Structures are given as structure tokens and as C-alpha cells.
Structure 1
């Protein structure tokens, strides 16, 4: 059995995403479809029929590694033989010929162009569920010392610009720098979700926006770290783009 190329896989991902599409109501979604036209039956990698509540739309989606004028004419005959508000979609590599692009646009055919990914997967870190935890007892004592009581002391909320200082006020790092150090370590160690609790060997402090308590002691930083493959093409994103193009073409 031959493995699907990225264009065939993209169509499969689009098909799987249809089940979760809530912006319109799906009437029919068929993979490796046989479609009844006005004069004959037609094969398609994916057939999607849906309604916005007023109008029923039909999308005929094909995967093609390359698109020439011959393939475009053949596909256009298929699309025009199907009754109703029909849009053709070809998932393919980038098309640079102006005549093909112009013909597709005039005929109501979407050229969904994908750039083939590099052989090696590219994994990017995703940081979430960030908690910057201060030493509460230290902060309470520091506030009482200057008579602040329960008055809140604000810190910078952006990790990139939240700097970490030692007791003498020397800048040691930033919160973003802590994230980056774990990202570098984990890049070659797998892609599963990990919850990190980062502690410090020596007392460290964060800068505040309060003149009476300019620094407060930091206890630890916790966050979730996960690596995602940036070469993966989410089917939901591709489906949303196709849906928007169909509705726009028919003047929705």
C-alpha cells in the first residue's frame, strides 16, 4: 500500500476536521466520493455538502501534486456538471503559472497551495499555564515594614521583560530566559507535555512598580512545556480557509 503524499494527507485531515465544524451544518461529507452529476458520475477525493441555514453549498476537493491546464479543464467539467452552488478545491503545491491561477479564479476553483515540508520535522516549544510564585511570607514582611498592609504590589506581566535580580540588584536573567533554557534542554529529549517547577539555588528577586517595595523575593516558576511539530497542517485551519473562500465567492 502506497503511503499518501502531503496533499492526499491534507485532504484526509480536512475530511476529519469537518465533524467538528460548527459554523455551518454539514449535510454530507464523503471521502473517496462518487458524485452524481447532471450527465454522469464523478469521483472525488472529498465531497462536502453543507448549509448556512439559507443556502446549500457543495465542495469538491481533490489532491493533485501538480496542476496543469489539462487537469484544470478536466476538473472544471466535473464541477460544472454538479448542480447547485458548487466550488472546486485542488490541494496542490505552489502554482506559479499566471494563466492557471487566472483560470482557476475565474472558474470558481480554489487552488489550496501547500509548501512541502522539509524532510526533518521541526519542533517548536509551547509554554502554557505559567505561574510566577513569590515568597509570600517575605513579601508580607516587606510590606509591613514600609506600612503598606494589604496594598497590592504590581509586577510586569510579560515574561520577556520580567527580569530576575540578585540581592544586590544585579540582573541575572529573565523569566523568558528560564523558559528558553528548558526549551533547549528538551528539544532533543522528546515531545510530551511536561510540567516544570523551576526553583533557585540562591535568593532571587523580581522588580515591581512600587517605589517603597522595588523588589520582591521570588519562590519558584511553574509552567507546562510541550513541543509541537510546526510542519503539521491542522485540518481545522485548512477547512476554515476553504469555507471562508466558498462563502466569500458566493457573496455570503
Structure 2
């Protein structure tokens, strides 16, 4: 019998961690699931359906050794065939291709990247509980000028893969680079878990999907960062990050 890969093992641990989630109500959880789509049935490693009391969310989780554009397109067709508020999760090896990352972020697919186990212990910074806080007064004024009223203005992608711009529309950094900055500091000091509130010295903006308000001003970004043993798979931590990403994506 072939041993499961670290990606299959991670998905199994994510599935097992669902039973301990108490911040939302699980409606369905299936391992080696068969999912009913609009046009046909689909197979997935894990299917998780839950509600926050107002909205029902559906999660399709798949493990793969290496994510290619072809694999991503195939998975996207499955996700889009499932009705409702659906988020796709791919547990995979590190993805370095920019086009794959951008396609996944735009399509609402979260890439959970795991490095192959090393010979010794490898400790890396892990970011969770991400909150991108906008300048509410600025947003209100911008929407009033555009005549939008209470119409929501959403950012264009998952924040962790987003670019940050200055007031002239020039790209100055990325959200991931901010995470990396604090992660390196934590590695250098070998410190314990920290909650970071990152503020900006100059005006900073994220791009949106709205033509009348193409950029939205940021107030700060808050997140937790801690060192994790990369030779161990933490299903509960991965599930917590997945849940946080799903709720942020659909509530934005």
C-alpha cells in the first residue's frame, strides 16, 4: 500500500480538525467526498459545509503534489459547478509561478502551500487571523463622491496576494512582504507568538473591483505570527487559517 503524501496527510488532519470547530456550525463534513454539482457529480478529498448563522458556506479541499495551470483550471471548474458560496482549497507544494497564484486568488481558491519535510527541524513563521482594516472615513467620503450610497466596494483578491499602492497609483509593496518582514524579525529573535498591528507611514491603498472607486485606503493590517515546526503538520492551525480566509473572502 502506498503511503500518503504529506499533502494527503495534511488534508486528512484538516478533516479531523473540523469536529473541534465551534465558531461556526458544521452542516456536512465528508472525506473522499462525492459532491453534487449543477451539471454532474464531482470527487474531492474533503467537502465541508457550514454556516455562521446567516450564510451557508461550502468548501472543497483537494491535495496535489504540484499545482499547474491545468490542474488549477480543472479544480476551478469543479468549484464553479457547485452552487452557493463555495471556496476551493488546494493543499500543495510551494507555488512560485505568479500566473498560478494570481489565477487562484482571483478565482477565490486558497493555496495552502507545504514544503517537503527536511532532515532536521525547520521553524518558519506562520501568519493567521489576518484583518485588513480600511480607513472608514475615507471610504465613506469616496463612496459619497461616486454616488454609491451603501453599495459595498470589495478588494480585487485575497489580501495576502495583494499589492499595495501609494496615492498616485504606484505599487510600493505587497501584503506578503509585510508578513515576511515581521516573520524574519521573529525568526531572528526566536520569539513567541505575536499579534501585529501594521500601520503605514504614508497613505496606502488596495485595488478594488469597482470602476468608480478603483482604490481603497488602508488604516492598518493586523495579524498573528508565530514560529511553527515545518516538519509537523498542524491540521487545526491550517483549518483555522482556511476558515478565516473563507469568512474574509465572502464578507468583504
TM-score bin (small chain):
0.5 to 0.7
Number of the residue aligned with 2:16 = 16
TM-score of the two chains, using structure 2 as the length reference = 0.56
Question: How far 1:61 moved relative to its partner?
Answer: 0.2
* 2:251 counterpart SS class: coil
C-alpha distance 240-106 of structure 1, shift in aligned 2 (>3 A): same
Please state if 1:37 is matched with 2:44.
Answer: no
Q: Distance in 2 between matches of 1:63 and 1:235?
A: 13
Structure 1 residues 108 and 230: alpha-carbon distance in aligned structure 2, compared to 1, 3 A threshold? closer
Q: Distance in 1 between matches of 2:245 and 2:122?
A: 29
Provide the residue aligned with 2:82 in structure 1.
82
TM-score by length of 1: 0.56
Q: Which residue of 1 aligns with 2:241?
A: 241
Residue 92 (structure 2) aligns with: 92
Q: What is the CA RMSD across the aligned residues, in angstroms?
A: 1.7
Aligned residues of 2:117 and 2:230 also touching (Cα < 8 A) = no
- Residues 162-188 of structure 1 show CA distances to partners (whole Å, capped at 9, x for unaligned) of xxxxxxxxxxxxxxxxxxxxxxxxxxx
Residue 11 to residue 248, structure 1, CA distance change in 2 (3 Å): same
Q: How many residues align?
A: 148
> 3-state SS of the aligned residue for 1:90?
strand
Residue 62 in structure 1 maps to residue 66 in structure 2: no
1:50 is matched with which residue? 50
Q: What's the CA shift for 1:232?
A: 1.4
Q: Deviations over 1:80-117 (max 9, x none)?
A: 00000000000001100000000000001000111111
The answer as to whether partners of 2:59 and 2:87 remain within 8 angstroms in 1 is yes
8 Å Cα contact 2:115/2:230 also seen in 1: no
CA contact (8 A) 2:87 2:108 kept: yes
Provide runs of 4+ in structure 1 moved above 6 Å.
Answer: none
Following the alignment from structure 1 to structure 2, what is the Cα–Cα distance between the partners of residues 96 and 122? 20
Asked if 1 retains the 8 angstrom alpha-carbon contact of 2:14 and 2:236, the reply is yes
Deviation of 1:231 after TM superposition, in Å, equals 1.9
Task: Select the structure of larger CA radius of gyration.
Answer: 1
The residue number in structure 2 matching 1:7 is: 7
Query: Counterpart of 1:19 in 2: which secondary structure?
Result: helix
Question: How far is 1:119 from its partner?
Answer: 3.6
Q: How does 1:1-252 map to 2 (within 5 A)?
A: 1-120=1-120, 231-251=231-251
- Closer/same/farther in 2, CA of residues 2 and 244 from structure 1, 3 Å limit: same
Distance 1:107 1:230 in 2: 28
3-state DSSP of counterpart to 2:32 = strand
Helix, strand or coil at the partner of 1:22: coil
Cα deviation 1:118-167 (Å, max 9, x = unaligned):
145679xxxxxxxxxxxxxxxxxxxxxxxxxxxxxxxxxxxxxxxxxxxx
Instruction: For 2:47 and 2:40, locate their aligned partners in 1 and report how far apart those are by CA, in whole Å.
Output: 16
Mark the runs of 5 or more structure 1 residues left unpaired by the alignment: 124-227
Secondary structure (helix, strand or coil) at the match of 2:240 reads helix
